[in-house]
Structure 1
Amino acid sequence: MDRFRRASAAALLAAVALAGAVGGAAASSGVPAPPSGERAQDLATRPALSAHATARSVAAWEEFRIHGSARNIGAGTPVTLQQKQGERWVTLPATIRTAGSGEYSMRVKLGIQGENALRIVGGGAVSPVVRTTVN
């Protein structure tokens, strides 16, 4: 009987240790916890812009378009083109207002040769970077 108690206790301790190791591994797996209700609502109402270029490569001063859509930004909000020059984002003289649907389409001509990093800003939002090479 005493042997049975010791074996049961050892099995119970092993099960607890194993459950703790598995739980600890899951907690430290790097998988983010789902946002709380309030934080998820903040993310859902945050202004956002998308941006896509119609060309990956153009000749100097050749026209192409950057188009996208705005979310949680009012219709008619001005959006502006920025270009990365060195370590700074420089605002270019290219601005357009969003349509009632939230979409925009901007004509662009670039003269700086090489790869150009571009983004759209407006309404408190910044789009992802769009890259276009000027030959």
Structure 2
Amino acid sequence: MNRAYRFAIAGALAAGLAAGGAATAFAAPAPAPAPVASAPVTSVSTAAPAAKPALTAQSSVATIGAWQEFRVSGKATGIKPGTTVVLQQKQGAKWVSLPAKVTVDKSSTYSMRVKLGIKGKNALRVTGGGAVSEPIYVTVR
């Protein structure tokens, strides 16, 4: 039954294509378009070029005890207010997003509270709005 159904569909499609091809084969050719004189194009741009998105990041401390709270804050340029920025930590060779995220405020700044538990020197960065900050380092005792 399935094979018969496929043959019927294929036949209907083939007949439709053949009829459509025959109709276009016997249609009169379209007249060639008249050449159009083109004027030189001048670009007038009054808007300033958009700033490339960038983020800065700084920590409120350089050394902290495990699971003690500190702040990571910074400035966003070329990023709309209300855009979410996320803190990332380098774990091995990969950057892993931490559950610390905030939105950029009207003055293009952000500040988030952070707690780290991995002891040693931790590399952190902030991402969001198509920008990535330079890494900052916090040592956890």
Which one has the largest radius of gyration? 2
1:115 to 107, 115, 121: 121
TM-score normalised to the size of structure 1?
0.68
Moved over 4 A (4+): none
Instruction: Summarize deviations over 1:58-99 as a string: whole Å, max 9, x none.
Output: 000000000001000000100000000000000011110000
Instruction: Summarize deviations over 1:11-50 as a string: whole Å, max 9, x none.
Output: xxxxxxxxxxxxxxxxxxxxxxxxxxxxxx87x7110000
Gaps of 5+ in 2: 1-47
Match for residue 32 of structure 2? none
User: 2:62 aligned with 1:56, yes or no?
Assistant: yes
Match for residue 88 of structure 1? 94
What amino acid does structure 1 have at the position aligned with 2:82? G
Which deviates more, 44-53 or 55-64?
A: 44-53
Identity %: 53
Match for residue 80 of structure 2? 74
Gaps of 5+ in 1: 1-40
What is the RMSD of the two structures over their aligned residues, measured on CA atoms?
1.2
Distance in 1 separating the partners of 2:136 and 2:110: 15
TM-score normalised to the size of structure 2?
0.65
What amino acid does structure 2 have at the position aligned with 1:47? P
